[in-house]
Amino acid sequence: KPEKSPYDVVVLGAGVLGLATADALSATGLRVAILARDLPEDVDSAAFASPWAGANWSSFGNNESERRRDTFTFEEFGRLAKSHPEIVTRRQFKYIWNKDKGYSSPWYKDVVFNFRPLERSEVPGPYSEGVSFESYTLNPHRYNALLASRLRDRGVPIVRKRVSSLDEAFAHFGPVDYVVNATGLGAKSLLGVEDPAVFPDRGQTALVRAPKVDICFGVRDANMAEGKAVYVIPRPGSGGCVIVGGTNIKGEYSTLPRREMAESILQNAFEICPELANGGASWKDIEVVSHNVGLRPAREGGLRLEIEERMIQPDALVPEGGKSKSRPVTVLHCYGIGPAGYQANLGIAEEAKEITLKYFNKQRS
């Protein structure tokens, strides 16, 4: 076992937060390696959230930090939409509701483009009011592949490994002193973390083929049943596919799509966007590619983005005469983003970078 690792930082987790954070850290010259059970190529794995997102930028920012991260990401998406339109696309959004039950003035109305109330004639389905603006939708598989290829080009290894305890991440590539814990829902059971505040927020969706749909729709009605959501998100670079959803069911782990939910998702989406049926007269004419479930890694209190100092126990495998004392190490926790991992990812990675550089500058001084 080497006495020293060739890496300064190990990022545990290769969902969008692990990849984006590794990208931001490695761009500063830090030597980074990624260790993860699920890799960006595992687009069929229900064991992590990132392959299953819509995904769009439609901020839930409830406080200043969340709004700052989302705004930062929005601006970066603007650059990506120009360089990689097959991954990030700027398009019209219509958010609709019934009178007095909606949200006509979200905090981000000055961040997005061309925010305005909808004319009654522009409001689809059984709704009466709404707003129009322009924001971004993205293809999560291609987005993560882009981050991964940038990392690999920079020499960052992305290694498949399921660790049982956080300590293993400090030892896998030889002893490192700094680990980023981006394990999402894994933080609930990972030994040494076992955060009881983490919970799954189950999202069922359908991927459908509807090449003519190019508007992103969302129902924002306060009367909507708990756990129900209605949205339509055209997916860039997918040959005309659209994600329709969905559900937000807290605390539920099942990754099997349910038939009755699948039917009501298609019916609700057809009501606001009949173009989904490609000219057909009923929601039954929608061409379904797949029914999907993703578990959003949510947390009471929201994202945990903070440093923790820990002690690592002596490593029995260090040869006699080698250093085998307990040693202090640092973990930057970065998990629990729930439904906002894409729209916040670059803002979170930027903040993770600032925290990490402060740590390394202190170590060096």
Name the site residues for ligand FAD (rule: CB under 6 A).
12-18, 36-38, 47-50, 52-56, 162-163, 182-186, 190, 203, 205, 245-246, 294, 296-297, 335, 337-343
Rg (the chain; Cα; Å) = 22
Q: Taking the complex as a whole, how short is the minimal distance between the CB of residue 59 and ligand FAD, in angstroms?
A: 9
Cα atoms in the 13 Å half-sphere on the side-chain side of 23: 23
Q: Rank residues 175 and 218 by Cβ distance to ligand FAD and give the closer one.
A: 218
Closest CA to 289 of 242, 232, 255: 242
**Polymer length in residues for the chain:** 365
- Minimum CB separation of residue 85 from ligand FAD in Å reads 18
The least distance separating ligand FAD from the CB of residue 40, rounded to whole angstroms, comes to: 8
User: Is the CB of 132 or the CB of 247 nearer to ligand FAD?
Assistant: 247
Nearer to ligand FAD, 68 or 280 (CB): 68
Q: Check if the beta carbon of residue 247 is closer than 8 Å to that of residue 266.
A: no
What is the closest distance, in whole angstroms, from the C-beta atom of residue 266 to ligand FAD in the complex? 15
Nearer to ligand FAD, 8 or 66 (CB): 66
Write phi, then psi, for 155 (nearest 5 degrees): 90, 15
Residue 257 C-beta: closest distance to ligand FAD, Å? 11
State the Cα–Cα distance between residues 315 and 355, nearest whole angstrom: 28
In angstroms, rounded to a whole number, what is the distance separating the alpha carbons of residues 150 and 25? 12
Give the shortest CB-190-to-ligand FAD separation in angstroms. Answer: 5
In the bound state with ligand FAD, the residue whose beta carbon lies nearer, of 56 and 71, is 56
- 3-class DSSP state for residue 350? helix
Indicate the burial class of 74 (C-beta count within 10 angstroms; 0-12, 13-18, 19 or more): buried
Cα distance between residue 70 and residue 339, in whole Å: 12
Is 37 or 90 the residue whose CB approaches ligand FAD more closely? 37
What 3-state class would DSSP assign to 115? Answer: strand
